[in-house]
């Protein structure tokens, strides 16, 4: 069995991957992506964000995520949806309009209602609000926070819940795994959503780690448990482990394997960690070198789709689980 089949045997719902239509013509990539034993869930890496789905106000473009959803259906894979209220990859009208509380609230509600309705029944979960926090736990400067304060949190979650009562609604962020102040901020996010009368079902830990700097399994298990204790599901939503310099030497590949094992082991140890999504499975398409030049090789498969030591180590862990 592959990663997903083995993870399901341990009681989890999915081992999935980010993928998008720009990958679809790559035959070697697709042979792995379409193997439902390896990956049991897709999340669109870019095409479902606000910029690509509503480039001009009120005119919606669903072709990209529809195609990702269609390939998932064909292969009986789950579909996770990403992302609604996020400061990045916004269309120009959101960043340039002179919003009032009323008009921005209406624009958020219109966007979320259209997206979540279109994918109602298809999405296992939505990343409703993404990356609202600074690393020190305060709220990130964004059009949403400037105009609405923290009210954009319950506004977003209430709109998503109304449009698809069955989808699990997540807050998603990075560095929650290692920065205590940021995890404290995420706990405040949960409280603010609930205080505003809205529902939140889960916390997404992006798990963008660095080789040798990945939190230990014990520490990650404790951090996940903190949010389970708040009544939430948790997930590792964008897992990858980047080398600080590439090409990686043999020893660094072994450390990367141990780091992947710590992350997957933490999810195994927490019953309400429902699944893991890697943020692409091949180094050929990882986002890391584009954002952090000189770093990368963060995935389970190499750029030519061979299985790296980390792949074997995760499979060994799952076989013995």
DSSP states of 73-123 as a string? HHTT-EEEEEEEEESSS--HHHHHS---HHHHHHHHHHHHHHHHHHTTTT-
| CA 10 to chain CA centroid, nearest Å | 21
Q: Which residues make up the interface to ligand G3I (CB under 6 A)? A: 45-46, 88-89, 130, 206, 238, 287
CB of 88 to ligand G3I, least distance (A): 5
Q: What is the 3-state secondary structure (H, E, C) of 2-31?
A: CHHHHHHHCCCCEEEEEECHHHCCCHHHHH
Among the listed residues 172, 221, 236, the one whose alpha carbon sits nearest the alpha carbon of residue 201: 172
- Write down the catalytic residue from 45, 131, 177, 297: 131
Q: How far apart (Å, rounded) are the C-alpha atoms in residues 135 and 268?
A: 27
Residue closer to ligand G3I (CB basis): 35 or 46: 46
Q: Supply the Cα-derived Rg of the chain in whole angstroms.
A: 19
Residue closer to ligand G3I (CB basis): 127 or 164: 127
CB of 319 to ligand G3I, least distance (A): 30
Q: How far apart (Å, rounded) are the C-alpha atoms in residues 317 and 6?
A: 10
Q: Does 238 qualify as catalytic in the annotation?
A: yes
CB of 173 to ligand G3I, least distance (A): 8
Q: Does 131 qualify as catalytic in the annotation?
A: yes
CB of 265 to ligand G3I, least distance (A): 23
- Write down the catalytic residue from 45, 177, 238, 297: 238
Active site members: 131, 238
């Amino acid at each position: 069995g592959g990663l997903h089949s083995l993870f399901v045997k341990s009681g989890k719902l999915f081992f999935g991957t980010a993928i998008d239509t720009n990958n679809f013509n790559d035959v070697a990539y697709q042979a792995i992506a379409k193997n439902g034993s390896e990956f049991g869930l897709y999340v669109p890496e870019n095409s479902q964000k606000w910029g690509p789905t509503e480039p001009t106000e009120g005119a919606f473009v669903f072709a990209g995520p529809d195609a990702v959803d269609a390939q998932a259906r064909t292969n009986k894979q789950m579909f996770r949806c990403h992302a609604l209220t996020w400061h990045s990859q916004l269309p120009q009208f959101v960043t340039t309009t002179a919003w009032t509380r009323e008009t921005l609230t209406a624009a958020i509600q219109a966007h979320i209602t259209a997206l979540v309705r279109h994918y109602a029944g298809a999405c296992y979960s939505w990343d409703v609000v993404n990356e609202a926090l600074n690393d020190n736990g305060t709220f990130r400067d964004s059009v949403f926070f400037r105009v609405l304060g923290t009210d954009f949190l319950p506004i977003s979650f209430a709109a998503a819940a109304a449009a698809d009562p069955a989808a699990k609604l997540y807050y998603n962020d990075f560095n929650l795994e290692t920065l205590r102040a940021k995890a404290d901020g995420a706990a405040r996010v949960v409280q603010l959503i609930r205080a505003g009368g809205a529902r939140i079902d889960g916390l997404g830990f992006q798990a963008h780690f660095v080789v040798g700097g990945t939190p230990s399994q014990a520490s990650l298990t404790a951090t996940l448990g903190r949010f389970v204790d708040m009544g939430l599901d948790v997930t590792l939503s964008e897992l990858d482990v980047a080398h600080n310099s590439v090409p990686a030497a043999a020893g660094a590949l072994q450390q990367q394997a141990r780091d992947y094992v710590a992350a997957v082991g933490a999810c195994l140890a927490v019953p309400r960690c429902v699944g893991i999504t890697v943020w692409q499975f091949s180094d050929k398409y990882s986002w890391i070198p584009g954002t952090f030049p000189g770093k990368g090789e963060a995935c389970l498969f190499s750029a030519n789709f061979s299985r790296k030591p980390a792949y074997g180590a995760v499979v060994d862990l799952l076989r013995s689980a």
